[in-house]
Structure 1
Amino acid sequence: HSRVLQIQGPLSIEVIKAATNGRIDESMAYYRSGFFDIGGQKLYVSRSGFTNELGFEIYCDGANTDHLALWDHLMSVGEPFGMEFSSTRAMTIRRIEGGILGNTTDIDTSMTPFEAGLGAFVNLSKGDFIGREALVNADRRALLMGLTCFGATPASNSIVIDGDKFVGRITAGVHSPTLGIGIGYVKFNRPGEWVGKEMKLRLPDGSEHECAIVSLPFFDKEHLIVKGVDRNIP
């Protein structure tokens, strides 16, 4: 099976430069990709990631890749830079902090691109395409927003209450070590002017906590970190 390894963080360029003997460096632009020799194996590498950090993704080629050799090579060249391996849990925390949406978790095929917050990628003036007619008159407002809570960590399927009305549900939530508060995504039942409103978060255990609706991402709204402009750890 094919696997994807992610090297993410402020020193990821130094690590990937060492891993490729300098074939990849600062000149590789965000979202660019190509095949490179990594420890004697030809692998596909993209400057991207699921963390909204400066980083790279290495795509293995199933049985054609010596995964153990690749792992040992990366850990060896990364050691001088303090690189550590972590689970997808750490990646999930950072992807929520960074405002990255998970397919089928936060968004699904029942939503329009506008409802999913992906309206920037829709070009209604380019001519006809499948689904265009449905989108022309669709509400352009998103259903997904950010939620912050000082008193608790939002849990999936927690509900959001405005006054006495159930208005939305949490799709994913974590405690943010960067912000020191609970954060999550709320999918509202209908479009509205939700950002800036104070509401209540009801957890699965029935407890209620004050929360606020915010725009995404939760910080670095100019995306300076992922572009490599700001390499300071927040």
Structure 2
Amino acid sequence: MKRTKLYNIHKNLNAKIVEFAGFEMPIQYSSIIQEHKAVRHNVGVFDVSHMGEIFIRGKQALDFVQYITVNDASKLFPGRVQYSAMCYEDGGIVDDLLVYKISDEEFLLVINASNILKDFEWMNKNNKFSVEIINRSDDFSLLAVQGPDSLKTIQKIADKEIDLEYYHFTKMKIANVEMIVSRTGYTGELGYELYFEGDEATAEKVWNAVFEAGKEFNIQPVGLGARDTLRLEMGYCLYGNDIDQTTNPLEAGLGWITKLNKSDFVGKDALLKAKENITRKLVAMISEEKTFPRHGYDISANRKKIGHITSGTVSPILDKPIALGFVEKDFSAVGTEVNFVVRGKEFPAKIVKLPFIKK
């Protein structure tokens, strides 16, 4: 079992530690609801150092990234980030990821922790461009500082003014440590992700400096539990729950990142065929009933099963059950009435437009 360089901090904060993607990670410190609301109303900090960082270097770095991802990386410029996905030849999703353009000959791919080795092997297998593919996942710590007061917090310990648009990044010093600072996150709030190298002492120094800077904003440490409820309120997909190798990006609502008009990429032919034959769609659902929708529960309509829930919770902000799930295409329109099937009992729900929380 791996540990991030902030493991001792989490233990000292009496975090509840669980196994996640081969790491011992904090699932919560106080309560999921309290941590969730801290991010929505003030500022919270996640240790997400388990995420993977793969660097692509070489003269054909862009060609390689274009070939293995579904979005159009040619639109990127240094300092720009892009949400994308990688697909197998059959259109199934290898992983969803962030693509950072550092320079014309260097990209950073940030991938899901549970997929690091699989993704790395798959990239190498598809390397027909003689690029360097370097797995630096163990070298980096990654903090996500998220919430309305996130900028005010980290600006206090930054070496220059932070003026980043959404999905842009820069290199700078925070707490006198050189790092990549990007205006990205998984919460739907104003937020920044801090990528930096160094040992446990360096990681703890950055963590402590961020918390000292955020004290006046009632900053809170946030675990993976609230990370999940926050992303679900926004309708963001989680690999392994909502998307995986059995789903394609078109049926999963990721058509907006799937550029079928760009030149050849892995899975393009299968996705062109799939576009003509979509039989199910990933939808967002909300209920007024007292129930708790969970991954794997059936979805029904007219007394028959029409799909299954991929992610579910009770929204801490709305105080209502919310879920993502795949349903037959005929039942996927916004406003369609469906049911969550919980232990054999049907609970009425309705398909709605994302996000659940309107900012």
Q: Which category of TM-score, normalised to the shorter sequence, fits these structures?
A: 0.7 to 0.9
Q: Does residue 70 in structure 1 map to residue 70 in structure 2?
A: no
Counterparts of 1:140-179 in structure 2, within 5 Å, are: 143-151=281-289, 152-179=291-318
Residue 196 of structure 2 is matched in structure 1 by: 60
Residue 105 of structure 1 is matched in structure 2 by: 241
Residue 217 of structure 1 is matched in structure 2 by: 355
Residue 34 of structure 1 is matched in structure 2 by: 170
Structure 1 CA distance for aligned equivalents of residues 326 and 234 of structure 2: 17
Conserved 8 A contact 2:293-2:312: yes
Conserved 8 A contact 1:45-1:57: yes
Structure 2 CA distance for aligned equivalents of residues 101 and 192 of structure 1: 22
Q: Does residue 12 in structure 1 map to residue 150 in structure 2?
A: yes
> Tell me, which stretches of 5 or more residues in structure 2 are unaligned?
1-137
Structure 1 CA distance for aligned equivalents of residues 193 and 264 of structure 2: 34
> What is the CA-CA distance between 1:212 and the residue it aligns to?
1.0
Conserved 8 A contact 1:41-1:65: no
Structure 1 CA distance for aligned equivalents of residues 210 and 190 of structure 2: 17
Structure 2 CA distance for aligned equivalents of residues 153 and 146 of structure 1: 15
**How much is the aligned-residue C-alpha RMSD, in angstroms?**
2.0
Per the normalisation by structure 2, the TM-score is: 0.57
Residue 251 of structure 2 is matched in structure 1 by: 115
> What is the CA-CA distance between 1:39 and the residue it aligns to?
1.1
Structure number with higher helix proportion? 2
Residue 130 of structure 1 is matched in structure 2 by: 266
> What is the CA-CA distance between 1:97 and the residue it aligns to?
0.4
Structure number with higher strand proportion? 2
Counterparts of 1:188-227 in structure 2, within 5 Å, are: 188=327, 190-194=328-332, 195-203=334-342, 205-220=343-358, 225=359
Matched residue of 1:143: which SS? Answer: strand
> What is the CA-CA distance between 1:31 and the residue it aligns to?
0.8
Structure 1 CA distance for aligned equivalents of residues 352 and 310 of structure 2: 15
Residues 191-200 or 138-147, more deviating? 138-147
CA separation of 1:65 and 1:191: change in aligned 2, threshold 3 A: farther
Conserved 8 A contact 1:146-1:185: yes
Residue 49 of structure 1 is matched in structure 2 by: 185
Structure 2 CA distance for aligned equivalents of residues 48 and 127 of structure 1: 28
> Tell me, which stretches of 5 or more residues in structure 1 are unaligned?
226-234
Runs of 4 or more above 6 Å deviation: none
Conserved 8 A contact 2:233-2:356: yes
Conserved 8 A contact 2:177-2:196: no
Conserved 8 A contact 1:16-1:24: no
Q: Which amino acid aligns with 1:177?
A: P
Conserved 8 A contact 2:158-2:176: no
> What is the CA-CA distance between 1:208 and the residue it aligns to?
2.4
Counterparts of 1:70-89 in structure 2, within 5 Å, are: 70-89=206-225
Matched residue of 1:146: which SS? Answer: strand
> What is the CA-CA distance between 1:40 and the residue it aligns to?
1.8
Between the two proteins, the alignment pairs up a number of residues equal to 217
Residues 193-202 or 69-78, more deviating? 193-202
Structure 1 CA distance for aligned equivalents of residues 142 and 213 of structure 2: 18
Structure 2 CA distance for aligned equivalents of residues 113 and 160 of structure 1: 21
2:228 to 92, 100, 117: 92
> What is the CA-CA distance between 1:137 and the residue it aligns to?
3.1
Structure 1 CA distance for aligned equivalents of residues 201 and 174 of structure 2: 11
Structure 1 CA distance for aligned equivalents of residues 345 and 286 of structure 2: 16
Structure 2 CA distance for aligned equivalents of residues 56 and 8 of structure 1: 6
Structure 1 CA distance for aligned equivalents of residues 197 and 316 of structure 2: 34
Structure 2 CA distance for aligned equivalents of residues 165 and 3 of structure 1: 47
